[in-house]
Amino acid sequence: MHYRNIFIAALLLFAALGTSVFATERSEIDDKYKWKPEHVYASVKDWEADMDGIRANVEKLPSFKGTFAGDKATDPPKSLIAMNKLTESIIGRLERAWTYAMFNFHVDMGSSEWGGRMQQLEFLSTDLSQKTAWVEPELLQIPQETLHKYIDENPELESYRKTYDDMYLLQEHVLSEAEEEILALSGNITGTASDVYRKLTDVDLDFGYILDENGDSVEVTDAGWVSWRTNSDRRVREDYFKTVWEKYKRYKTSIAALMAGNIKKNVYLTKARKYDNTLERALSYTFVPEDVYINLVETTRKNTAPLHKYNEIRKRMLGLDHYRHWDYYVSLIDAEEPRYTWEEGVKMVTEAVAPLGSEYVRDIAHGLDPKNGWCDAFASAGKRGGAYSSSCYQIHPYMLYNFDYEKGLTLEDVSTIAHEGGHSMHTFYSEKTQPYPTKDYVIFNAEVASTVNEALMSMKLLDEARAAYKDAKGKDKAAAKNYLISLLEQNINSCRGTFYRQTMFAAWEWEANKLGEQSQPMTSESFNEIYKKLLQEFHGPAAEYEDLSNYSWSRIPHYYRGYYVYTYATSYAAAVALAKDIRAEAMGDALKKGVTARYLDYLKSGSSKHPVELLADAGVDMATPAPIESFIKYFSDLVDEMDKLTR
């Protein structure tokens, strides 16, 4: 909805939680690899002045009350036009104020100064929601055909036609003015479980130390598991895993209570807005049918055999009698991983996305060029972890990364550049093409734009490696084979992590929320039992999990965003289908003519249609099992190729 949950759509931030685990100081990093928040505001003084202006304008909003419908509504179209202009100005400026503060805070998460400014913005956002709580209830007093007449007679309202139509589609879930105001006021409360969870896991949990393979003491962090889980020393991997998971087990009661609180919040909002279940409510605001979610989970659960086979291959190649949780990520090929400079990584990305055309290549190359200030490339002490793309209206997108400044980029890091670059191009084109009300896009569509870039790069590298292996002779044959196997492993792991793993998460979230809907016990034991069954179902007999693994749900921050993780899986399936067709057209396949143009139109479409419709226009119908089944076939073929190469 236009006046509700403003920043969910507006900021379009895709990120992992946590802070950087690297010790490099920000001052040690070349300034050219740092983003430029000054493109948003020249100084903090300018930010503060704009905040004062925003607050003053927010106070004007209640004056429009009663001018759309009722006795005071002498000229509703004129009032609507004026209200829309004021609201666009407020939200646009608030986006800029939010992103400026966020960009400064995220490179120094220990800053109480910027943390305080972020709190100011949260309060201002809640105040805006409260002062516009009356808008939708009043608009809904106007018959839809009358509002259409206003739009037909006033071109300035045309860009809002879809926004208003969507409002009528959700009419039965819009409450009275007083009830909407109460729900708006509850915004600072309903996020408590998420806030406490984040502070507990990001700040308060102390995981202690383990000995590495050299006998040196190393500090254990939750975020550090991503690096240490690939360590070649199995004892180190096991120690690191158990140290992290034991800590979550120790706080199992508190974390289960936070999750239960999160689910109770979901149930409360579901009942307050008169939805049948939490899934329906969560998806309704993006107009994604429940069938898309259900189809993903049910179709995937019927097709776990390729993942079972991959686990069997891993167990065989690692030479293990027992394939455990800490063996899940270690590389199958013992070879030194190549490293790249930022510039080399960007070159690999721009070459990979060449099938999308010269304009796309030019634009993404501009965004990734350090001198243009869009990117913050390297990890430093106190910087927010993970990677994301974010933006604010009429300012270019920004990208945050956390690469190792001393060692350079891995191939996976280069893939991350492609991913966030895809998000930024989606934002760049939609904002350039769409009017303000439809410039944003929902997460269901967002992850497609990022993953297409990743898929294009991985497919290009795989084809080149296959050709090199085929042509190699003598001693070069073994090296070419190992490189091909390593690329296959990386691609399979990406599919496994983004599709199967996220679908398993989605299945857990669905089942856990049903406990709340049915007033069943929500404890660590009940949450663990759901997760245990899913681990066994998805990973098959080759994988052995102990009780500690059942606590994995407690490490997933995405659950506090509400039915969010499924979009990674649906997007991955859609992106692979699109990337295959785009590459086929670039290679001259006449049957795929027009595929690339339709995809570029998709990137320019914002929210001009509902999410599933937009994706169908691009060539993928996620309302059917076909894209999921096609993706599983793609994954299965990669696993079969790996099996043959490693026999």
How far apart are alpha carbons 530 and 507 in whole angstroms?
9
420 included as an active-site residue: yes
**Structure tokens given for 578:** 């699109």
pLDDT, mean of residues 183-200: 86
pLDDT at 185: 81
- Rounded to two decimals, the pTM is 0.89
Contact call for residues 588 and 595 (beta carbons, < 8 A): no
Please state the domain extents for the chain: 35-175
Contact call for residues 530 and 514 (beta carbons, < 8 A): no
Q: Could you tell me what percent of the chain has a pLDDT over 90?
A: 86
DSSP state of 288: -
How far apart are alpha carbons 577 and 582 in whole angstroms?
9
How far apart are alpha carbons 439 and 456 in whole angstroms?
26
Q: 282 pLDDT exceeds 90?
A: yes
pLDDT in tens, 578-636: 999 999 999 999 999 999 999 999 999 999 999 999 999 999 999 889 999 999 999 99
Domain 35-175 has CATH 1.10.3720.10: no
Q: What share of the chain is helix, strand, coil (3-state, %, to 5)?
A: 70, 5, 30
Q: 16 pLDDT exceeds 50?
A: no
pLDDT in tens, 359-386: 999 999 999 999 999 999 999 988 988 8
pLDDT in tens, 18-63: 555 556 899 999 999 999 999 999 999 999 999 999 999 999 999 9
**Structure tokens given for 186:** 């509850």
pLDDT in tens, 305-335: 999 999 999 999 999 999 999 999 999 988 7
Tokens 């509700």 -> residue: 4
Which residues contact residue 381 at a Cβ distance below 8 angstroms, ignoring those fewer than 6 apart? 20, 22, 23, 24, 25, 26
pLDDT in tens, 508-551: 999 999 999 999 999 999 999 999 999 999 999 999 998 999 99
pLDDT at 17: 43
How far apart are alpha carbons 178 and 170 in whole angstroms?
18
pLDDT at 21: 52
pLDDT at 361: 98
Give the torsion sign (CA, 521, 525, 530, 531). Answer: positive
pLDDT at 19: 52
Find the catalytic residue in 181, 420, 431, 454. 420
pLDDT at 13: 46
How far apart are alpha carbons 423 and 428 in whole angstroms?
9
pLDDT at 263: 97
Q: What is the mean pLDDT of the chain?
A: 93
Strands 388-390 and 398-403: antiparallel
pLDDT at 239: 97
How far apart are alpha carbons 169 and 159 in whole angstroms?
17
| Amino acid type, 599 | Y
State the pLDDT confidence band at 190, using cuts at 50, 70 and 90.
confident
State the pLDDT confidence band at 15, using cuts at 50, 70 and 90.
very low
pLDDT, mean of residues 445-464: 96
Q: Could you tell me what percent of the chain has a pLDDT over 70?
A: 96
pLDDT at 23: 62
Which residues contact residue 327 at a Cβ distance below 8 angstroms, ignoring those fewer than 6 apart? 234, 237, 314, 315, 318, 320
State the pLDDT confidence band at 183, using cuts at 50, 70 and 90.
confident
How far apart are alpha carbons 398 and 590 in whole angstroms?
37
pLDDT at 392: 85
DSSP calls for 63-79: GGTTSSSSTT-S-HHHH
DSSP calls for 242-287: HHHHHHHHHTHHHHHHHHHHHHHHHHHHHHHTT-SSHHHHHHHTTT
H/E element, 470: helix 443-471
SS3 12: coil
